[in-house]
């Protein structure tokens, strides 16, 4: 199964003009715990998918919110004439198809 099949929401948005933040949220604790224990969501994998270096990623596991949060630098500042996604809302797509093993 893919990550988007386990989550209630995967989104991206600006975290100021120079950073993007990604939220991966779950409505079911069992699914959150399954994804967390799978170890598939990690800094190395996220760096590959989001095209940045591992040391640029801030990765948080938020057990009390059943969520993961990832923050990376924007390739271009928000509002730059060459920026095709002013609000950062279209950057989450690479996360959706991360392969997660089935629930046992």
Report pLDDT digits (tens) over 27-82: 999 999 999 999 999 999 999 999 999 999 999 999 999 999 999 999 999 999 99
The total of structural domains in the chain comes to: 1
Asked, for residue 65, whether it belongs to a domain, the answer is yes
CA dihedral 43, 44, 49, 50 (to 10 degrees): 50
Asked, for residue 62, whether it belongs to a domain, the answer is yes
Give the start-end residues of each E strand in 1-104.
Answer: 9-14, 19-25, 58-62, 67-73
Asked, for residue 14, whether it belongs to a domain, the answer is yes
Supply the pLDDT for residue 12. Answer: 98
Asked, for residue 56, whether it belongs to a domain, the answer is yes
Supply the pLDDT for residue 27. Answer: 97
Residue 48's domain comprises: 3-74
d(CA 5, CA 99): 10
Asked, for residue 29, whether it belongs to a domain, the answer is yes
Place of tokens 């989450």: 92
Asked, for residue 79, whether it belongs to a domain, the answer is no
Asked, for residue 90, whether it belongs to a domain, the answer is no
Asked, for residue 67, whether it belongs to a domain, the answer is yes
């Amino acid at each position: 199964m893919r990550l988007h099949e386990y989550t209630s929401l995967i989104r991206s948005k600006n975290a100021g003009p120079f950073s993007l933040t990604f939220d991966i949220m779950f409505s079911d604790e069992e699914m959150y715990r399954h994804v967390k224990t799978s170890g598939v969501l990690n800094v190395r994998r996220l760096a590959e998918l989001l095209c940045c270096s591992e040391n640029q990623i801030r990765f948080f596991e938020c057990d009390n919110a059943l969520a993961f949060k990832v923050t990376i630098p924007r390739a271009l500042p928000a509002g730059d004439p060459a920026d095709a996604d002013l609000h950062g809302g279209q950057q989450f797509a690479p996360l959706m198809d991360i392969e997660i093993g089935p629930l046992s």
